[in-house]
Structure 1
Amino acid sequence: MDVDLALIGYGGATSLLLSALDRRGVGGLRIATVDPDVTHGHHRTWAFWTGPRDDLDPILDAAWPRVDLYGPGGARRLDLGPMRYAMVQSGPIFQRAGEAAARLGVRGISASAAALDDDGTEVTVRDGDGAAIVRAKWALDSRPAAPERPGRTFWLQHFRGWWVRAEADVFDPGSAILMDFRTPQPARGVSFGYVLPTGPRSALIEYTEFSPARLDDAGYETALRSYLKLLRLPDLVVEKVEDGAIPMTDAPFAQRPSPRVVRLGTAGGATRPSTGYTFSAMRRQAEQIAGAVLAGSDPVPAPAYPRRHMWMDAVALRAWDRGLVAAPAFFERLFTRNPPERVLRFLDGLTSPAEEVALMASTPLLPMTWAAAGDLFARLRG
């Protein structure tokens, strides 16, 4: 089969791209998806920052104009206006993508892509036996991939969340707990809790760590039960469980490993190293590719984040990993010494250099300077 676009892997990045192509009215393209799992894998939830209106509004689980932060200095409520913190589950995203794929005439191929042979003019997607599955002008690959080289720091954002329901009104749907650092802190890393209400009696409650390694099941179970006790919530019914791990590293990912292969999602640099946030960058990649296709250009998105942001993230990771700065105090200062809207745009990679100078000035300057010097020395030595 010959196609214009072969979409390798059918997860969040591909789903957002199909919806963007459909919404832009891209027609006449021959598109195929290649993935052995037609169910899109396990259930997941994405959280992201957005403005007062969003095309995902009809399928959002919730959006909050205010968030609560529990740091070393106590509890603080932050008004995010005009932005919102929003949450969407993967099911509606995949459903919209399936409807878009039907309108676009996408051919779904249930197979594992073992090799992408790029000769500079087309890409041949091959299975594990070397047989050709599909030939494409471009392959857009959203499967997990290793970085080009090891990073100087490698952590994980790893988490487990419980979707819970209460018998009485115990949650405030107008506000979410964004970071609650009252959780016991690991010896190396940082932990915090989330509470994301979807109604007065329902919420996603999550325990998250930034650290080098995941916990076992008993560790997550203990951490979540301890956090519920801290929140002083009544008995709750756990309706669903979800977990995951996202890389937090200054290791570079090759967005374009060969002339006609483009990587999307985490493998394409969409994950913010200092926070693990990925969804907004995946959306930008999808919109940029759809716009390029509509204009007759190569389907190659811009880098997910400016290079200066990647450097700042590398310095922050180094500072936390070497114990130069405590992450709870770092995030508390960042949010409380800057307008929240500026911080959110920075986390999405959208701030100006002048705004970033103000953000850096609000962090602990001496230890961050030591971290920057150490990062520079490591780069020169490397």
Structure 2
Amino acid sequence: MKHYDYIFAGSGLSSLMTAYKMAISGKFANKDILLLDYNAKQENDRTWCFWQKDNSIWDTIIYRRWDTARFANETRSTDLDFGGYQYKMIRGIDFYNFVFAELRKHSNIEFINQKVIDYKDAGTNVLVETATESYTCNRLFNSIYNRELPASQNKYPILQQHFIGWHVKTNAPVFDPAKPTFMDFSIPQKGNTRFMYVLPFAEDEAIVEYTLFSKDLLPVEEYEQAIEEYLKNLSTSGYSVIAEEKGSIPMTSYPFWENNTKNILNIGSAGGWTKASTGYTFRNADKKSDELITYLLKEKDFTGLYKRNRFWFYDLLLLDILSVKNLMGGTIFSAMFRSGKAAPVFKFLDEETSFAEELKVIWQCPKALFIKALFKRITNL
């Protein structure tokens, strides 16, 4: 049974980010590191988008970037002022190739294409079992999401950001390649938070995505019909579907970190790294992986890494509202972006604001909804 210093159970975004940063830091060169995943990460299976002002280590693989975006609801359409931010897109295959190209330079880092089926903190080490072999390690990073954990309680609501997106080529020029559609709530809400999301690459090419923030997924046909209707209203004169992507991202303030042990750390969606109020993952995971690298160089007990903060509570209040009145998402986000100035909202959602700045954003939202949710939540913490 081979032993490693660190094992990653699952090699999704957060695992690969962390392993990459461990590699380029030069501070883990004497540590044996193993990544385990049933998926070889050789396909373009997803896209990630995020807003950012500064440059980052990922800039060389940015596929598209935009300086503004459109926000719409049933009464108006607004071009957002990003105030120096850019909206950036990274394709999954470009990210995988970039990270693995670096990892292959480090003989102490190994990737094995196996599915993890179990793991256990034995105190002095961690036992990891795959479908075919067993391994031990000093410390385990688990990114395999366990839906049963948040589902086993009712203190923290659970929504999903679920979607189907079509990469389409249209017969007529209908898109503005300089302006994605961030959220379009003008479509029928049907009692939920539903919006269209458009990432344009050319006047006749874009990813068009039908997205919901709700508890339950829909039949595939309902997503597809919504996309078809949206494209019809754009007067595309016909189109072809180049590729399709779909997903379901957990949105919950459930404290995943409470399941960490001394030697096992849950990361990614399995560790609550997804931004609970929006489902955005890339930027949050980038920051969390930086924090993790710093922690690894100083501490050894994973149980002391995370804790609640006021942003966790803000997210919780929004999810409390949407879990009871799911159709209010469009109203809330429309209020946040009413002025068209997106920079204060982006800064708030990135958890980089002062308390005074946060109050300005929160004050734009429907006050009665949040006051009611606040009083109800205070009695339930």
TM-score (norm 2): 0.90
Q: How does 1:191-270 map to 2 (within 5 A)?
A: 191-254=194-257, 257-270=260-273
Q: How does 1:83-94 map to 2 (within 5 A)?
A: 83-94=85-96
Question: Match for 1:266: what amino acid?
Answer: S
Give yes or no for contact 2:262–2:301 (8 Å, CA) kept in 1.
Answer: no
Q: Secondary structure at the match of 1:87?
A: strand
Q: C-alpha separation between the residues in 1 aligned to 2:78 and 2:53?
A: 22
What's 2:376 paired with?
A: 374
Question: Match for 2:278: what amino acid?
Answer: T
Deviation sequence 1:38-86 (CA, Å, 0-9, x none): 2468701111111243332222221111011002440010121311111
Q: Secondary structure at the match of 2:40?
A: coil
Q: How does 1:286-325 map to 2 (within 5 A)?
A: 286-293=289-296, 295=297, 297-298=299-300, 303=306, 307-323=309-325
What's 2:7 paired with?
A: 6
Give yes or no for contact 2:81–2:340 (8 Å, CA) kept in 1.
Answer: no
Give yes or no for contact 1:338–1:359 (8 Å, CA) kept in 2.
Answer: no
Give yes or no for contact 1:123–1:135 (8 Å, CA) kept in 2.
Answer: yes
5+ residue gaps, structure 1: none
What's 2:37 paired with?
A: 35
Q: C-alpha separation between the residues in 1 aligned to 2:340 and 2:244?
A: 35
Select the residue among 163, 166, 188 that pairs with 1:162.
166
5+ residue gaps, structure 2: none
Give yes or no for contact 1:70–1:76 (8 Å, CA) kept in 2.
Answer: yes
Deviation sequence 1:282-323 (CA, Å, 0-9, x none): 111222333444x454496954x9521222222212223323
Q: CA deviation at 1:365?
A: 1.1
Q: CA deviation at 1:240?
A: 0.2
Q: Secondary structure at the match of 2:159?
A: strand
Deviation sequence 1:103-150 (CA, Å, 0-9, x none): 122222233323222133321212468x6x222111111111233552
Question: Match for 1:261: what amino acid?
Answer: I
Q: Structure 1 residues 373, 302: closer, same or farther in 2, change over 3 A? A: same
Deviation sequence 1:238-279 (CA, Å, 0-9, x none): 100000111122322136521111111111111122211111
Q: Structure 1 residues 52, 233: closer, same or farther in 2, change over 3 A? A: farther
Q: Percent same amino acid among aligned pairs?
A: 26
2:193 corresponds to 1:178: no
Q: C-alpha separation between the residues in 1 aligned to 2:229 and 2:3?
A: 55
Q: C-alpha separation between the residues in 2 aligned to 1:84 and 1:317?
A: 27
Give yes or no for contact 2:70–2:183 (8 Å, CA) kept in 1.
Answer: yes
Give yes or no for contact 1:192–1:209 (8 Å, CA) kept in 2.
Answer: yes
Give yes or no for contact 1:255–1:264 (8 Å, CA) kept in 2.
Answer: no
Q: Secondary structure at the match of 2:255?
A: coil
Q: C-alpha separation between the residues in 1 aligned to 2:363 and 2:289?
A: 34
What's 2:136 paired with?
A: 135
Q: Structure 1 residues 243, 111: closer, same or farther in 2, change over 3 A? A: same
Give yes or no for contact 1:325–1:364 (8 Å, CA) kept in 2.
Answer: no
Judge which range, 279-288 or 109-118, deviates more.
Answer: 109-118
- The Cα RMSD (Å) is 2.4
Q: C-alpha separation between the residues in 2 aligned to 1:193 and 1:53?
A: 28
Q: Structure 1 residues 221, 168: closer, same or farther in 2, change over 3 A? A: closer
Give yes or no for contact 1:61–1:198 (8 Å, CA) kept in 2.
Answer: no
What's 1:109 paired with?
A: 112
Q: C-alpha separation between the residues in 1 aligned to 2:376 and 2:79?
A: 35
Q: C-alpha separation between the residues in 1 aligned to 2:244 and 2:269?
A: 23
Give yes or no for contact 1:162–1:240 (8 Å, CA) kept in 2.
Answer: yes
Question: Match for 1:358: what amino acid?
Answer: K
Give yes or no for contact 1:72–1:329 (8 Å, CA) kept in 2.
Answer: no
Q: Secondary structure at the match of 2:283?
A: helix
Q: CA deviation at 1:351?
A: 1.7
Q: Structure 1 residues 374, 324: closer, same or farther in 2, change over 3 A? A: farther
Judge which range, 94-103 or 260-269, deviates more.
Answer: 94-103
Q: C-alpha separation between the residues in 2 aligned to 1:306 and 1:165?
A: 45
Give yes or no for contact 2:9–2:141 (8 Å, CA) kept in 1.
Answer: yes
State the number of aligned residues: 374
TM-score (norm 1): 0.90
Question: Match for 2:96: what amino acid?
Answer: F
Q: CA deviation at 1:334?
A: 0.7
